[in-house]
A and B are shown apart, each in its own frame.
Chain A
Amino acid sequence: MSLLTLDRETGRWSLAGSKATWVVLGLIACLTVAGFLLSDRFGTLRNFSNLFGQAAFLAIIAIGQTLPVLSRGIDLSIGSVIAFAAVLTSGLIDNDPSMMLPVTALVLVLGVAVGMVNATASHFLKVHPLIITLGMAAVLRGVMLVYSDTPVGGTPEDYATFAMGRIMLEEEGLTIDIWSGSGLSLAGVFCLLLYLLVYFFLKRTRSGRNIYAVGGDPDAARLSGISVYRTLLVTYGFSGFCAALAGIYLVSQQGVGSPELAVKAYELDSITPVVVGGTMLSGGVGGVGGTLLGVILMAMLGNLLNFLDISTFYQWIAQGLIIIVAVSIYVERRRRE
């Protein structure tokens, strides 16, 4: 495919790919240049390697949010699922190494189940997912607080491997080490693989294409023989899975799960990279490629502001402005006739 295409209607040449891709790439380039100019620590290999790992958490929740948004919905239960998953993981493992795998599996299954309940309720009660997932968020938060309203349990040191592990190439081959400051972040590599997998799922499988169809026009999808319900199950099941995974990541990183996580509004954080990456809230347009760019942009922004000793408070201002600028550039003007 050529980089330039000619629009037959207007006779104007335009760049291939969506506008969003180019806007975000441009912003990332600006940040990189600014980083090199303003800070001597920014442009180091070590920092880029760190950045790669730091972006993992946002990457996980953002890819989870991408699918519901593509299907013309939204998942606002993500924040509560993260907190619940974290508390449950550390509470159930309770420093028992033999419990690590079963509990992790159980929590992931629970995440998928929560998402499927969201999809089922929204589909059969015909209520917008915004409301359903908001309700679900409240319910889960309550259930979590009933389970424990203080940080509970804990995890063995090995459990930190997921979030903190670094892959290193040594003489005896690839090794994974938790405490090393160098090497590639395991979680970062995991996220890249996850994005690749979901990219192919969305582009090249029927279920993936069905998500675009349902997001584009649910009625048309239904009458084309697509099961809207099954598509939503996949969509919200996946976002629930990612939220649970994000909760596990936090436990892995911090060693313990805290109910306090529920107030951090991660669900709103997850939306920023998605929409900045060009996935439209109106559904059917976008993809995980854009989300990945959005994640990189937000992670770099945080990283750079950090080096410049600018408080995270300003990061919020920048985040809000980026949403406004990006989204108002993407919006297509309504056309008459």
Chain B
Amino acid sequence: MSELTLILGGFLAAAVRISTPLLYAATGELLVERSGVINLGVEGAMLAGALAAALGAGLGGPWIGVLAAVLAGGAVAAVFAAVALGARADQIITGTAVTLGAIGLTGAVYRSAYGAGGPGLSLPMFAPVPIPGLAGLPVVGPALFAQPVLTYLAWLLVPAVWWFLFRSWWGLALRATGESAEAARASGVPVRRVRVTAALVAGGLAGLGGATLVLAQVGTFAEKMTAGRGFLAIAVVVLGRWHPGGVLLASLLFGAATALQYAFQAMGLGVPYQIFLMLPYLLALAALTVRIHGWRAPAGLGKRLS
């Protein structure tokens, strides 16, 4: 295999790997926004999930870490739900506060659990699981079919969420809630219950994203390690036009942008690496301006909740 093919394959594999945490968080945020709510607490949920995954994996292996991550993410989401949906406080500020609190809490817990010597912590990780036959394909094989289980799981979520949103009654109810809460309520939809459920599920998914980050990517925990990936998920939802398939593509796009960093380094081009740090965010900004007719935000998104 030529060197270029190797680099390309490596780049694609990195793109897919990096995109997975984003895909989890964005899929969750998609559900929340489809119900008419913007949850900035997704960053906090992801971070909490990351820490819980580290702690859980240290205690009982990677799957315990996953379970802990889902619960932790859900707990963070529960706080958001209680204040923004239960008490109907401003959803933006609530989400920000929740994330702030999660940063503080995870930092404090991490320090007290692991002491000041954080880096160097090594955790049992999810190894890539190659799919027999497909993994051998040139270039795309390792990229698409030799990924950790959590990546395959994330991909399976996409059609599942699609079916839920567009073929099931509860998905219809969710969409109705996001378009017009009063009309949905008049049609008998339990609006608050739908929103709270969506928020909790999204919290669990964000936690799962955090777990993926720790257990299938980085291998350790560091303070504030999510570095805004949760917030980036919001941009992913916008770029993906609030559609599960779009969210998948958008996540891959952002994964690719970050993976470019490694590819450029491997090719020995002397470009300052900070450009690649900035690239996903700039891409998201540019994406926010694109308006495709017909594929737009839920009409009730961001409105004061009633």
A, B co-complexed: no
